[in-house]
Structures are given as structure tokens and as C-alpha cells.
Chain A
Amino acid sequence: MIPNVAYSLDHISFSYSKGKNAASEAVLKELSCLILSGRVLGILGPNGSGKSTLLKLLARVFRPQQGTIELLGEPLSGLSQLDVAKRVALVPQETLQVFPFTIAEMVLMGRSPHHQGWGGWHWEDSQDWAVAQNAMEELDVAHLGHRLVTEVSGGERQRAVIARALVQEPKILLLDEPTAFLDLHHQLDIARIIKRLNRERGLTVVLVSHDLNLASQYCDQVLLLNHGRLAAMGSPQSVIKPNVIEEVYGCSVLVDRHPQSGLPRVSLPV
């Protein structure tokens, strides 16, 4: 076991279809990489390149048909769903809820992996409440506790979902397009929260994003996918280059430096 590796992926392939078509319709093909602990990794790539699928494999929502994934040195396939949930939290792209659950109730659901009662039955104890209260304050949703999940704004709901992920007390936080439906203000908000969680708690963060600039500013490393294969991986400076982006996305871009951070900044040509 290498000490500071969160995930080690060895030649993984995954397809949503089974049988004969599985190989030809594979979403991820022979993917190998190491994801380091305590860092923020951005998964980038065009539509349909397998970004979200990769994230779901890391959360073991799906299992790869080929290859192995190791989570913190243990084979992911050998862990129970509950064991994975204690180590890894997933924030999906969109949280749909048709039933009248409150924000507080939804956040508390994140404590579920820490209770192994009779068929999952448990009552939240004072520690659960403390952890939930703390996470809700951190994400600034404590005042929304009694509101329904269905009636708050998209940004508020996204923050509450991240709070739910935090009360899982994971070592790794996976986020699928965390800023996709948010306005500028909330995008910045979420990005800063993610960075802070990483700095202050040493949380390993893996996020999928369409936003190259956001990834460049907030990720320590980026992983670029193209048609289910690894196109490039490394620091934002080494991956976000005009020739690499053009090859993967099929359009030419301008890359200069961000005026504050000096990190690569991508602009579309006129």
C-alpha cells in the first residue's frame, strides 16, 4: 500500500450494456491512474467522455466489468456498501425529491452509514445531531433546517446536499458537477467551500466539471478524459494547454494566465 493514495485504478473498463455489445459500447476503457489523498482532483472531458461514470465507479454505485479499484489500499470490490459509505460520500449532479422531507431530515440521512441496526433501523443520537448541526452551519444551511427540500433554491439545496455528504464523515468527497445549476455567486461559494474543506480537514476531493476555468483555479490536479480513455493527467498548468484541449474537445481555444492566480485561463476564440 502506498500511504498517500486515495484511489488506485488499474485498467478499469465499464459498460452500461451487458453481453456482446459491452466491449464496443464501453464508457470507460482500460483506465489506470492514481488519485492522491488530501488533494482536489478535477475530472474534465467533453460530453459523454465518461466523467460521471468514473465518479460513480469511485463511489461504487457501479462496479467496473474489468480491472480493479483500490480505495485507501483496500480493493473496493471486497468492501461492503456500508464500508464504502463510511469512507466516501457522493454529491450527485441533481437531487430530486418528490416527498416532503425537510432539509434537516435529508442532512441527517447522511448519518445512516454509521448505524448498523436491525435492518438499518436506528435513532439518531446526540452525536449525530451535533455532527449534522456542525455541517449545516459550515455550509450555511442551518437556518433552512425546517424548510422542505422541494421548496428551497438550487444553491441552497446543493449546499444542503454537500452538508449531507459531510455528515457521512468521509475521507473522500466526490462531487458531480457541483456548480452546474448555480449562478456566479453560488459557483464561487461552492468552490471556496470545497477548497476550505480540503485545506482545513484534509478531505480528498474528486470533482467532475465542465468548467475548465473553475477546475484550473481550484484543483491541484486535473484528469482529462476523452472517449473513456485517459487523455492527460497532471497539474492544471501541464494539462490545460491549447494543443491538449484542442485535441480532446475538437476546437481551438486561447489559454492565457489568470490575472490573480497566474493559473491557466481558457477563453473561446471569436
Chain B
Amino acid sequence: MKPTLDGPSLSPLPTVLPLEHSISTKSPLNVASSLRGTLTLSRWWLWVSAACVLTVLVFVGCLGLGTQAITYSTIIAVIMEAVAGSSIEQGLNDPTSVILLHVRMPRVLLAFFVGGSLAMVGVALQALLRNPLADPFVIGISSGAALGAAIALLFGLGISVGSLSALPICAFAGALISLTIMYRISSAQFGFSVYTLLLAGVVLNAIFSAFIMFLTSIADPNRAFGMYAWLMGTLTGPDWPTLGILVLYLGAGLVILGMQAQSLNLLTLGEETARSLGVEVERVKKMVFLAAALLTGAVVSFSGIIGFVGLIIPHAVRLVVSADHRLLLPVAGLVGGMFLMLADTVARTALSPSEFPVGVITALVGGPIFLWLLTTRQTQLGMK
């Protein structure tokens, strides 16, 4: 039965006036006063280039520090020579250049890539789950990746097939599985719950850790010790080819993630609102999952479990710079990289000549911040 339409007779409809009609014509290129502070291209460049300059300074600074201090003029000279490619033979004979180019620089770069990736994954997961406490470590993505990597290591899958090592692939699979479980759990309950997510993260971490402990206990002691050290989060020196493979994974992940920046902004308003603003929510979710698993998997297979970087860096950058993901993602990436380069420098110089896992530092810094957020931001998190 079709309902009948009664009521007032159909009067001629007013024409739809586009909004521009009533715009007072001010200087068109000026941002109106109430919109000041929102992101513009020039503001974006300003922040990103400032962060880049700072990153380069921190990078060079960290290169100079170590068991053997290297002066900055030497660093610059060696880098210049290496870039010019003029005296590779001579460079190989000079112990300072060897330390710098083949030990310290790959390690500092690894710290940068790992820190940056963790921070960006943190940003993306927080937006997707609308939870400022989400972090690849806290919600169990890192331990999922670690379990994948541990299986690969212990069952000899670590042997590379061609140039493609099975290790990061297994870690990627582990990260993807734990992400999927996590997401299912957090969206199974109607609405969005910070508690569910954090509790599920704790339990997932416990389950994956139990599996890893089981695997280490049946492995031969030498291997088990190496794995134990790796799990605590270390950045032991990679060689240049391995670093290249890591960059491949990270590059793919970053491109996918970067493309979702605007969608992530809209997703912070909730999935339904995002959809009403034109976001293909399911597609974006899949993309973010894929990228987060790629980045976490690659990072964990190279450096073990380094916690809390993805939690504190996004939070700090949001407070100081912007919550807009177009700016937040790259700046958090750079700041995360800087943070881990510095943390690792402390880890390898504080007790020189011995060193301790960088994960110790990030946990000691990040853990208290996490607790502080948990206790002070309850109303904001909708948890009171």
C-alpha cells in the first residue's frame, strides 16, 4: 500500500541557492579569520621541512656518538667521499670510515626506520580504532608479528629464498592475523569501547607470548638466547642489503598508509559519519590493515618488540603540531625516527662498551606516559 501524500498543496519550490551566493567578497586568497590555524600547504611544508632538518641534525649527532667518538668534520668528510664514490678503496682501509659507514650508519638508519614506522602505525591504528591508546605493541600486533618471526626462525624458514627472506613475510602474516582478531573483537560489541580493546590487547599479548615461550623452550639453547635478546627489542647492526629489503617493505607500507591520510581524518568522526562524507570505509580499513601489518611485520622481524613508540610519539605530535593526519603522519614518522635514534644512542653508549636493548628505554619512557594518559584522560576517552 502506497502512503498518500496530503498536506499543503505543492507550491512552487524555491530554487537551490549555492552557498557562494552570499559570500562577501574579501581577498579570496586569505584564510578567513575563524579558519586560521587549519592546515595549508605552506604550513605543511614549514612543519615537514623543520622536522626534516631536525632529523638530519639528530642523525649526524647520533653518528658521532658511540664507543669511539667521531668528530663531526670527519663524519661529513666521510659521507661526502662515500656519496662522491671517489675513494671507496681508501675508505675501506680507514677504520673510522669502516665503523661509520658499515657499522654505525646502518644501525642509526635502522633505528630511524623502525621508530618512524612504529609511530606512523600508531597514528593509523589510533584513528582507525578511534582510540588514542592504540599502539602496535599495546594491542598485540607486535607480538603477533614476533610469533610469526619466531616460527620462521625456529623452523629454519629464516633461510632466504633468493633475496626474499621468509622472516619478514612470516612476521607480516603474524601481524595481519593479530590485527584481524583485534579488529573483530573491538567491533563485535556494539559501538566503540576503549576497555574492550585494551583488555583484548593484554590477552592477545599473553597468548602470543606463551606460544613464543613454548617455542624458545623447545629450541636449542644457543638459538633460544639469540631469540630472547631479539624479542626484547634490539637494533644490532644490519648490513646494507638487509637494510635495503627493510626499506622496500616500509616504502610499500608508507605509500599505502600515506594515501589514506584524509580518510583517516574523516574516520575519527566515526565510521558512519565518514561514510556519509564519501569515505569507502571498508576499502580504507583494508588498506590501513595491510599497511600496518607490512610496517609492523618488517620492523619486528628486524628489531624485535620495541614498545610504546607508536603511543607516545603520535600523542606528542598531535599536541604540538596538529591532529590533521596529512601533517600528523609525516611529522610523527620523522619524530618517531628521531626518538628511536636517540634512544638507541643512549642504549649503546650509556654503559659503553656493553649495551642494552633499546626496548628497555622505550618501555621505561613510554610505560609511565601510557599510565598517565590512562588516568588523566578518562573523560576524553569515554571511559569514566
Of listed B44, B131, B266, residue having the most chain A CB within 10 A: B266
Q: Does A201 contact B20, Cβ atoms closer than 8 Å?
A: no
Tell me if A217 is interfacial: C-beta within 8 Å of chain B.
Answer: no
When distances are taken between beta carbons in the complex, the residues of chain B under 8 Å from A86 are 278
- Per DSSP, chain B at the interface is loop
Which single residue of chain A is at the shortest CB-CB distance from B287? Answer: A119
Docked complex: B9-51 residues within 8 A CB-CB of A? 10, 13-20, 22-23, 28-41, 44
Q: Does B14 contact A199, Cβ atoms closer than 8 Å?
A: yes
Tell me if A202 is interfacial: C-beta within 8 Å of chain B.
Answer: yes
Which of A34, A106, A129, A166 is the one whose CB lies under 8 Å from B5?
A34
Of listed B1, B2, B319, B326, residue having the most chain A CB within 10 A: B2
Q: Does B14 contact A230, Cβ atoms closer than 8 Å?
A: no
Given A99-B132, A121-B326, A127-B20, list of 9 further CB < 8 A pairs?
Answer: A98-B130, A101-B324, A102-B37, A112-B262, A112-B279, A122-B262, A230-B3, A235-B7, A235-B8
Q: Does A33 contact B16, Cβ atoms closer than 8 Å?
A: no
Tell me if B381 is interfacial: C-beta within 8 Å of chain A.
Answer: yes
Q: Does B8 contact A220, Cβ atoms closer than 8 Å?
A: yes
A101–B326 Cα distance when bound, in Å, is 13
Q: Does B277 contact A146, Cβ atoms closer than 8 Å?
A: no
When distances are taken between beta carbons in the complex, the residues of chain A under 8 Å from B259 are 118-121
Tell me if A84 is interfacial: C-beta within 8 Å of chain B.
Answer: yes
Nearest CB in chain B: distance from A223 CB, A: 8
Assuming the contacts A36-B10, A60-B275, asked whether A150 and B380 have C-beta atoms less than 8 A apart, the reply is yes
Assuming the contacts A112-B277, A234-B5, asked whether A106 and B269 have C-beta atoms less than 8 A apart, the reply is yes
Give me the interface of A with B, judged by CB distance under 8 Å: 4, 32-34, 36-38, 56, 59-61, 80-82, 84-86, 88-90, 92, 95-102, 104-106, 108-110, 112-113, 115, 117-124, 126-127, 129-137, 141-146, 150, 166-169, 171, 199-203, 220-221, 230, 232-235, 237-238
Q: Does A169 contact B19, Cβ atoms closer than 8 Å?
A: yes
A232–B6 Cα distance when bound, in Å, is 11
Give me the interface of B with A, judged by CB distance under 8 Å: 1-8, 10, 13-20, 22-23, 28-41, 44, 126-127, 130-132, 192, 258-263, 265-266, 268-270, 272-273, 275-280, 318-319, 323-324, 326, 380-382
A137–B18 Cα distance when bound, in Å, is 16
Which of A88, A115, A129 is the one whose CB lies under 8 Å from B35?
A129
A258–B280 Cα distance when bound, in Å, is 45
When distances are taken between beta carbons in the complex, the residues of chain B under 8 Å from A105 are 38-39, 323-324
Assuming the contacts A98-B382, A166-B19, asked whether A4 and B3 have C-beta atoms less than 8 A apart, the reply is no
When distances are taken between beta carbons in the complex, the residues of chain B under 8 Å from A130 are 20, 23, 28, 32
A76–B112 Cα distance when bound, in Å, is 47
Q: Does B268 contact A99, Cβ atoms closer than 8 Å?
A: yes
A126–B30 Cα distance when bound, in Å, is 7
A98–B2 Cα distance when bound, in Å, is 44
Q: Does B38 contact A82, Cβ atoms closer than 8 Å?
A: no
Q: Does A221 contact B7, Cβ atoms closer than 8 Å?
A: yes
Of listed B8, B22, B34, B130, residue having the most chain A CB within 10 A: B34
Which single residue of chain B is at the shortest CB-CB distance from A59? Answer: B276
How many A-B contacts are there with CB distance less than 8 Å?
A: 206
Which single residue of chain B is at the shortest CB-CB distance from A141? Answer: B34
When distances are taken between beta carbons in the complex, the residues of chain A under 8 Å from B18 are 169
A-B contact pairs, 10 of them (CB 8 A): A90-B273, A98-B131, A99-B126, A105-B324, A106-B269, A141-B34, A169-B19, A201-B16, A201-B19, A220-B7
Q: Does A96 contact B39, Cβ atoms closer than 8 Å?
A: no
Assuming the contacts A61-B272, A133-B32, asked whether A99 and B17 have C-beta atoms less than 8 A apart, the reply is no
Q: Does B319 contact A100, Cβ atoms closer than 8 Å?
A: yes
Which of A84, A99, A141, A199 is the one whose CB lies under 8 Å from B323?
A99
When distances are taken between beta carbons in the complex, the residues of chain B under 8 Å from A200 are 14, 17
Assuming the contacts A61-B272, A119-B260, A134-B23, asked whether A112 and B278 have C-beta atoms less than 8 A apart, the reply is yes
When distances are taken between beta carbons in the complex, the residues of chain A under 8 Å from B2 are 32-33
Q: Does B277 contact A168, Cβ atoms closer than 8 Å?
A: yes
Assuming the contacts A61-B272, A100-B318, A101-B323, asked whether A4 and B277 have C-beta atoms less than 8 A apart, the reply is no
A4–B266 Cα distance when bound, in Å, is 32
Q: Does B3 contact A126, Cβ atoms closer than 8 Å?
A: no
A81–B269 Cα distance when bound, in Å, is 16
When distances are taken between beta carbons in the complex, the residues of chain B under 8 Å from A146 are 34, 36-37
Q: Does A124 contact B16, Cβ atoms closer than 8 Å?
A: no
Q: Does A201 contact B276, Cβ atoms closer than 8 Å?
A: no
Nearest CB in chain A: distance from B47 CB, A: 14
When distances are taken between beta carbons in the complex, the residues of chain B under 8 Å from A96 are 130, 192, 270, 382
When distances are taken between beta carbons in the complex, the residues of chain A under 8 Å from B260 are 119-120
When distances are taken between beta carbons in the complex, the residues of chain A under 8 Å from B39 are 105, 123-124
Q: Does A126 contact B13, Cβ atoms closer than 8 Å?
A: no
Assuming the contacts A32-B3, A112-B277, A122-B262, asked whether A101 and B13 have C-beta atoms less than 8 A apart, the reply is no
